[in-house]
Amino acid sequence: MRHFDMEMNDLKSRLVDMAGLVQQMLKATTDELVSRDPNLSETVFSLEKEVNVQEIVIDDKCLKLIALNQPVGADLRFITSAMRINSDLERMADEAVNISEIALDLLKYPQLKPLIDIPKMVSVVQQMVADSIQAFNKSDVELARSVLEKDDEVDDLERLVFKDLKVFMTKSSDPNTIHTAVDLILVARCIERIGDHATNISEDVIFMVHGKDIRHPKNFK
Amino acid sequence: MRHFDMEMNDLKSRLVDMAGLVQQMLKATTDELVSRDPNLSETVFSLEKEVNVQEIVIDDKCLKLIALNQPVGADLRFITSAMRINSDLERMADEAVNISEIALDLLKYPQLKPLIDIPKMVSVVQQMVADSIQAFNKSDVELARSVLEKDDEVDDLERLVFKDLKVFMTKSSDPNTIHTAVDLILVARCIERIGDHATNISEDVIFMVHGKDIRHPKNFK
């Protein structure tokens, strides 16, 4: 195998590993919402540090790969897509940290019994994250497209969550309920964002494989 | 001037123009919150289409600049930073669209008299956007650093907005008040995100000029 190909494989496996860290963060932070175990925040914050280091290492690697090998065509698209995916993974990690901070805040208030459709949202988004990175790893355009379809499902679930929480708030003037409901609205928003980043990654995979930009198709009709 | 330098200048001025569109969107959408004029949403949606087209044109231009000129060092950093800034500008435009959609929803309910500190948040964030793109245009690291400092101010204002809205909701069990307050929480979140993107752009400018990654400094202490 050429040295350049080995370096490209190394770049790919670094991104897959980084996605693994992000998936661990997402699991820990959403477990925390259910278990109310504040120790899980520590896990999330410590994983974020690793993700941040990896982001810089990967970016640096991408710049060196371009500068030293002067790639064109599919290789260049792969590297610039990797830079973008790197950035989306890091922003997913930021959102997981946001959720963990809100989870800590939620501990101050009695638990609002149901988390409504938030666990369902989490499960769809976890699948989107797993599929988007698998699509990248295997250059699997079909799998990438299936992620794009799930984004609408997440948006629908988010709307349901908002609707249910508004009903809670209307029925109760207890400040604790209001506070908890607002926190859960912000959690839903963070989860929805993570889904958006998985969508971005999937669009990058399609661009990387086909060399065709599928973002904003409506503008080109 | 060399052809390559002309192309680099063209890339820079395209990004500055794109930022101008985003600034127009931000102004229109936040004016809409105050004026409750639904026509402003049309302006925002139509500007977003232009931004989306520009994003693809600029990305394509960046790839061609790398493939045809095989830049290294500062030139390569400039182009990859431009790709990242391009993506942050497009995501700012998405947030402006989100605000406009919420503004349309708000029309269904009587106006909750004060917009609290939201106009103040908007004004800080508008300055961050203007400064971050000016910092890019002039390679002005000091200006870029001043944007990073403003990010904390935005976070503080957002916390105040949330606090005030929770008080409103606690005092009123009117579903209209709850609905409006939740909408305004989501608006504040969108504005805060736009500030985050301006922060990202400023970090890119510092990286572009100094060749030093200043993201996540705490991890390297």
> What are the percentages of helix, strand and coil residues in chain B, rounded to 5?
85, 0, 15
Tens digit of each residue's pLDDT (9 = 90 or more) over B133-161: 999 999 999 999 999 999 999 999 999 99
Tokens of A21: 């860290």
Specify the higher pLDDT residue, B115 or A49.
A49
Using alpha carbons, list the distances in angstroms from residue B215 to A49, A78, B135.
11, 23, 17
Distance CA B93, CA B101 (A): 12
Which residues of A fall within a CB distance of 8 Å from B206? Answer: none
Nearest chain A residue (CA) to B175: A170
Question: What's the distance, CA A122 to chain centroid?
Answer: 11
Inter-residue contact B132 to B165 (CB < 8 Å): no
Mean pLDDT over B201-207 rounds to 96
Q: Mutate one of A80, A84, A180 to test the B interface: name it (highest B CB count within 10 A).
A: A80
Looking at residue B45, its pLDDT comes to 97
Distance CA A112, CA B118 (A): 28
Contacts 24+ apart (CB under 8 A), A42-50: A44/A96, A44/A97, A44/A100, A45/A97, A45/A100, A47/A21, A47/A93, A48/A93, A48/A94, A48/A96, A48/A97, A49/B216, A49/B218, A49/B219, A50/A21
Using alpha carbons, list the distances in angstroms from residue B25 to A23, B41, B95.
35, 9, 10
The size of the A-B interface in CB pairs under 8 A is: 100
Inter-residue contact B192 to A197 (CB < 8 Å): no
Which of B59, B73, B216 minimises the CB distance to A56?
A: B216
Decide if B74 touches A, using CB distance below 8 A.
Answer: no
Decide if A162 touches B, using CB distance below 8 A.
Answer: yes
* B30 CB-near residues (< 8 Å, 6+ apart): B99, B119, B122, B126, B191
Which residues of A fall within a CB distance of 8 Å from B172? Answer: 173
Tens digit of each residue's pLDDT (9 = 90 or more) over A36-77: 999 999 999 999 999 999 999 999 999 999 999 999 999 999
One DSSP character per residue, A114-134 reads --TTHHHHHHHHHHHHHHHHH
Which residues of B fall within a CB distance of 8 Å from A172? Answer: 173
pLDDT at A214 over 80: no
Angle at A195 between CA A88 and CA B82, to 5 degrees: 30
- Positive or negative CA dihedral for A46, A47, A48, A49? positive
Tens digit of each residue's pLDDT (9 = 90 or more) over A113-171: 667 889 999 999 999 999 999 999 999 999 999 999 999 999 999 999 999 999 988 88
Inter-residue contact A33 to A103 (CB < 8 Å): yes
Nearest-Cα distance to chain B for A181, in Å, is 10
Tokens of B127: 């300055």
- How does residue B220 score in pLDDT terms, banded at 50, 70 and 90? very low
Tens digit of each residue's pLDDT (9 = 90 or more) over B38-91: 999 999 999 999 999 999 999 999 999 999 999 999 999 999 999 999 999 999
Cβ distance of B80 and A80 shorter than 8 Å: yes
